[in-house]
Structure 1
């Protein structure tokens, strides 16, 4: 069997071919330009495999319309990428592919990969956060994404400002949401330089850890998952995870039980492959539904 994966990101589309073992056989990165040019390149990559593919999974930047009963199902909605607003992404792909297609948000795709083949493999529930240019999250319970009329926007949960943090929020909608104070751009605003240029012992990392710890605390009390995975570029700072674990135990203050912090709070087991493998799983499910 062969499956296709499309990670439709704001800066690049990562396309891949995989098999039933979820092994990545071929992958390419395509710059995200205007829709027509980008989709043309995507289709050119998949063209040699089109009649062999059993399913395609898509994880997309958003917001997206993922409600199959909606008239605009498959569309990119009010995206900051103006040229993509209202674009029927799935409609364009359906015109090319000769197999079933399933789609979700980019962070949901990463969550699905970790749930099936990463740290959630032996669990019934998992929450995955990507902490980078923005902050998003995907929550899974019993192999189903948690969400109702829309996909979750947990990256915009409100958090308590650190008393030493007077920097402007990077979010135009909220003064003290998680994305506005803990994303990569938020760290940059606070530091006056890019986050990756900060020294490991800079106290600003302690502030960052406290914000992420509040996120984990809120997630623990609202969803009680078996594991929380923290991904994205910010979490590639290896020194940050121990700070988050320590700050989480402090803020939770023993209120509820949970696995040990080393079992409970993880960085992605699948690394940068989480979303690709998650899309393969979506493709497999699309194939099974279509049988």
Structure 2
């Protein structure tokens, strides 16, 4: 049996699976302090005989195995979790092999394995919500380098009529600062769910997200792009992003999926809210496979 932990800034979702896909049982735990939250995590898993666990965590985290802080949640705004060795703590208490990556990388892995990216050698997953995060599977492996990608903070061209300062505490008007859920709310004075009937809101949102799509296509050339997160659930947004991405590319990338089938290239998640947990099972399976003996 495999275990998965989707460690979010608001809640931890823990689950177990016998086949790495179907969820046998799950629990949701509020994210308070490491002491409180992790106790409930371990109590849940001790009721099962798990062979390995996969962790997809909020961050920033350190996924570079060469660093002394590998496995840590590092400079998160959630002060109680700063410099917490979440991977080491899980291994100590559960004593099973553990895989570790970002929450959005786990979602990308889940969608690639069993969701909208299934059957591809590469896919990119973007979540647009409280922040903007991006994970990618390239050539059948999670994209990692010095650390995990932070592609939600790329610089985009500001719309000439948009004078909103931006919400990112580091960069102000990066992609996350201009297009995250809080940016939409602060710019327009209402939550996104209350702005559904205002096309100008989603035209502007698509203006920024389409620039990100263009950059990701030109740099990573993924076989599929998946957009999830709360903001992405706006009914008209996905079609606007697809259309504006084509307009930005102007036929430069001559692939039929982009020029003629963009609605099958930039898509909604296939696993919906289970992408991260499903990716956690895949991480656990990898960790078990890579364990000697």
Shorter-chain TM-score: which interval? Answer: over 0.9
Note if 1:228 corresponds to 2:225. yes
What secondary structure does 1:161 align onto? coil
The structural deviation recorded for 1:238 is 2.2
Note if 1:96 corresponds to 2:93. yes
Note if 1:150 corresponds to 2:164. no
The structural deviation recorded for 1:194 is 1.1
Q: Which moved more, 1:220-229 or 1:197-206?
A: 197-206
Q: Which residue of 2 aligns with 1:34?
A: 33
Q: Which residue of 1 aligns with 2:243?
A: 246
What runs of 5+ residues in structure 1 fail to find an aligned partner?
none
The C-alpha deviation readout for 1:10-43, integer Å capped at 9, x for no partner, is 0100000112251001111100001111100111
**Distance of 1:72 and 1:174 partners within structure 2:** 25
What secondary structure does 1:56 align onto? strand
What secondary structure does 1:7 align onto? strand
The structural deviation recorded for 1:98 is 2.8
Note if 1:123 corresponds to 2:120. yes
Note if 1:140 corresponds to 2:137. yes
**Distance of 1:135 and 1:228 partners within structure 2:** 14
**Distance of 1:201 and 1:64 partners within structure 2:** 37
Q: Which residue of 2 aligns with 1:76?
A: 73
Q: Which residue of 1 aligns with 2:4?
A: 5
Note if 1:112 corresponds to 2:109. yes
Task: Please report the TM-score for the alignment, with normalisation by the length of structure 1.
Answer: 0.96
What runs of 5+ residues in structure 2 fail to find an aligned partner?
none
Kept in 2, the 8 Å contact 1:168–1:189? The answer is no
**Distance of 2:228 and 2:149 partners within structure 1:** 17
What secondary structure does 1:242 align onto? helix
What secondary structure does 1:160 align onto? coil
Indicate which of 214, 217, 220 corresponds to 2:214.
217
**Distance of 1:244 and 1:263 partners within structure 2:** 13
Q: Which residue of 2 aligns with 1:57?
A: 54
